[in-house]
Structure 1
Amino acid sequence: MYRPLFRKCRGLEVFEAFVTMCILAAAVPDAPPSEMCRAALLPGFAAETKAGCEHALHSVIRKPDDWTEKPPFCAPRPKSALSFSEAAPGVFLHRGRVAEPDAENGGDVSNFGFVVGSRSIAVIDSGGARKLGEEIYLAIRERSRLPISHLVLTHMHPDHVFGAEPLREAGAAVLGQANLPRALSDRAEDYRASYARRIGEAAFLGSRIVAPDRTIAQQEAIDLGGRVLELRAWPTAHTSTDLTVFDRTSGILFAGDLLFDRHTPALDGSLRGWLAVLSEMKDLGAPKIVPGHGGPLLDWPQAAAPLERYLRVLESDTKKALDEGLALGEANEVIGQSESGRWRLFDLLNPQNATAAYTEMEWDP
């Protein structure tokens, strides 16, 4: 249905607007600061000629904010550095690395995708840096000229939200669960400092958290033209901000981090709440699911089994540790250990999960 449009789009030479972002950073400790720069995409000024791009660019006043004092410029549109697979007609998925964010992967450690309707396109999650949001935009434009109408953020974690701003600049309304604005506001500075340290200031240049334009408290549908996406907010589970996206046309459910594959799950909400939500998700009628990490496309509900097993082990081990009167430090050494060979990044994340489970369950009657 969509392929002729994609082929037509690839045949065009298009110019985009860019701005040179710079920061002062020390190359080595105690050294004088040096300037780090990169050309950052400014969506919204694309044209089939350089003159057309420049006319659009200079017809509005853009303040470069704190990025640079250098004026924006137009250049041929580059190819996206990200790979996307077409999981179903009009559904494109990118698989992030199953790894911790670092300078080598530039924060590309979570899954995201986009869905194409007959009138517009919706993006689900945006990666862990502005640069990734720019690359998502470029990947979309390699396939379609349709407007990008929505960006859905599945939850608050930084590897899913820091790429949002360029997609909003491209015209997308940013949507999230009702608790997301407060959660992002409370954590914005910590997330920024942590992610910049992990992936490096150069890769993180220009990245910042943007608040959702609209929130979903229960359920909502967005119509992309001949294709309706069903958005559902969930009670506290992986986090207090979880939101899923179901495309009934393809039967694909975007779960965000309500589902992990191979990557050790991260418990930042409620252990028992997560188990309850997984059970409810099985009734949505989705045969396929996109996890927040791993995959990127799995059979549903079969894909729930490893995560449910892990969460049940956390629950039973924590109860046993509490019954035996173990202090938190002692409990952390035993909770979940039978799962250690089944997941990547286990030694990093399981102690955090054990602490969260112990804290949640220690006042059980």
Structure 2
Amino acid sequence: MKFVLLLAGLLISYSTMALPPLSFSQVAPGVYLHTAAHHWPDRDNHGEIANIGFIVGERCVAVIDSGGSPQQGAALRNTIKQVTAKPVCYVINTHVHPDHIYGNIAFKEPGVQFVGHHKLARAMATRGDHYLGRAAELLDIQVNQDNIIPPDIEVKDNLTLNLGNRELLLTAHPSAHTDNDLSVYDKTTDTMWLADLLFLEHIPVIDGSIKGWLSEMERLEKNHYKLVVSGHGHLVKDWPASLQPQKAYLTGLATEVRAMIKQGKTLEQAVNSVGLPAKKNWQLYEQFHRKNVTIAFAELEWED
């Protein structure tokens, strides 16, 4: 069931910015998804570029990523209140990137526990100052250390959260998109929330390990899921077919970079020549591809 909830006129104590409409789809019973457009994070979109959502159980609600700004987090919070009277009990952050965590502050209240990968707190501590320093300039949002909320519950391998007759299986993945990726599987609807372990149309972004990401994709594609939620892109109903473009891009990138290293080519040469045909297949190619080559080269030049 599709619906748009208009959140105009809400008073948000930490912002005077008018809240825009926040569209949500109920993609499965009790599973609500806001699908974002593919944009470079900037002052126009305020970093609100990632898919976010929530899952409703009989007892309470779990938020899965809170959005790219405090304002979007507040819009999400008020959307939940219009959907259900059940309280939010968990805010699950799938990884450290600002477009997934800057809405956390909207849920900081008694009874709400924040959940993340066991390496998430370290990543927040390491990157927090850098992220905060660029937020006002790049995103036109005001954030401070209060917006960087580390997990109360850390996931080292697997963890099951019960929302009341509804179990979510959380998995802490080895280094892939980042070194703190967390997936969420809703057993009730056979929905896997992969977040940024899966990119569709938007070029995949490496901020962890290309080898690890390839390994995780090989493992994940062997599983069956009725629905898969990506971090950037449409809802997936044909898993694992929808994974194949990302797999092909990352596999090709690794193959080409390894060949360049074997030939004694430099990083600069690799950045200028690897993966050029892929440009036609991906949005935001210019913004992220060169960085992907750089990170892949730095990792693969040291492999045995």
1:163 to 103, 110, 131: 103
Q: Does the CA-based 8 Å contact 2:72-2:103 persist in structure 1? A: yes
Q: Does 1:215 align with 2:154?
A: yes
Q: Does 1:123 align with 2:63?
A: yes
Aligned twin of 1:136? 76
Residue ranges of structure 2 left out of the alignment (5+ in a row): none
Q: Which amino acid aligns with 1:361?
A: L
Q: Which amino acid aligns with 1:129?
A: S
Q: Tell me: CA distance 1:325–1:215, structure 2 relative to 1, closer, same or farther (3 Å).
A: same
Structure whose CA Rg is larger: 1
- Cα deviation code 1:52-106 (max 9, x no counterpart): xxxxxxxxxxxxxxxxxxxxxxxxxxx8721001101111000112011112212
| Cα shift at 1:170 | 6.8
1:199 to 131, 136, 139: 139
Aligned twin of 2:16? 38
2:269 to 330, 350, 357: 330
Aligned twin of 1:306? 245
Aligned twin of 2:38? 98
**2-side partners of 1:334 and 1:113: how far apart?**
38
Q: Secondary structure at the match of 2:122?
A: helix
| Cα shift at 1:288 | 1.4
- The runs of at least 4 consecutive aligned structure 1 residues that moved more than 6 Å come to none
1:250 to 189, 194, 210: 189
Q: Secondary structure at the match of 1:204?
A: coil
Q: Does the CA-based 8 Å contact 2:17-2:71 persist in structure 1? A: no
Residue ranges of structure 1 left out of the alignment (5+ in a row): 4-9, 22-36, 41-78
Written as runs of structure 1 = structure 2, the 5 A alignment for 1:20-39 is 21=14, 38=16
**2-side partners of 1:362 and 1:342: how far apart?**
27
Q: Tell me: CA distance 1:342–1:39, structure 2 relative to 1, closer, same or farther (3 Å).
A: closer
| Cα shift at 1:199 | 1.4
Q: Secondary structure at the match of 2:89?
A: strand
Q: Secondary structure at the match of 2:280?
A: helix
Aligned twin of 2:127? 187
Q: Does the CA-based 8 Å contact 1:233-1:244 persist in structure 2? A: yes
Q: Does the CA-based 8 Å contact 1:246-1:286 persist in structure 2? A: no
Q: Does the CA-based 8 Å contact 2:89-2:113 persist in structure 1? A: yes
Q: Tell me: CA distance 1:346–1:282, structure 2 relative to 1, closer, same or farther (3 Å).
A: same
Written as runs of structure 1 = structure 2, the 5 A alignment for 1:226-237 is 226-237=165-176
**2-side partners of 1:284 and 1:196: how far apart?**
41
Q: Tell me: CA distance 1:17–1:342, structure 2 relative to 1, closer, same or farther (3 Å).
A: closer
TM-score when scaled to structure 2? Answer: 0.92
**2-side partners of 1:16 and 1:341: how far apart?**
42
1:87 to 2, 21, 27: 27
Percent sequence identity is 34
Q: Does the CA-based 8 Å contact 1:176-1:243 persist in structure 2? A: yes
**1-side partners of 2:271 and 2:153: how far apart?**
39
**1-side partners of 2:20 and 2:172: how far apart?**
31
TM-score when scaled to structure 1? Answer: 0.77
Q: Does the CA-based 8 Å contact 1:252-1:286 persist in structure 2? A: yes
Q: Does 1:317 align with 2:295?
A: no
Q: Does 1:354 align with 2:293?
A: yes
Q: Which amino acid aligns with 1:188?
A: G
**2-side partners of 1:283 and 1:220: how far apart?**
21
CA RMSD of aligned residues (A): 2.1
**2-side partners of 1:92 and 1:329: how far apart?**
44
Q: Which amino acid aligns with 1:336?
A: G
Aligned twin of 1:239? 178
Q: Does the CA-based 8 Å contact 1:94-1:296 persist in structure 2? A: no
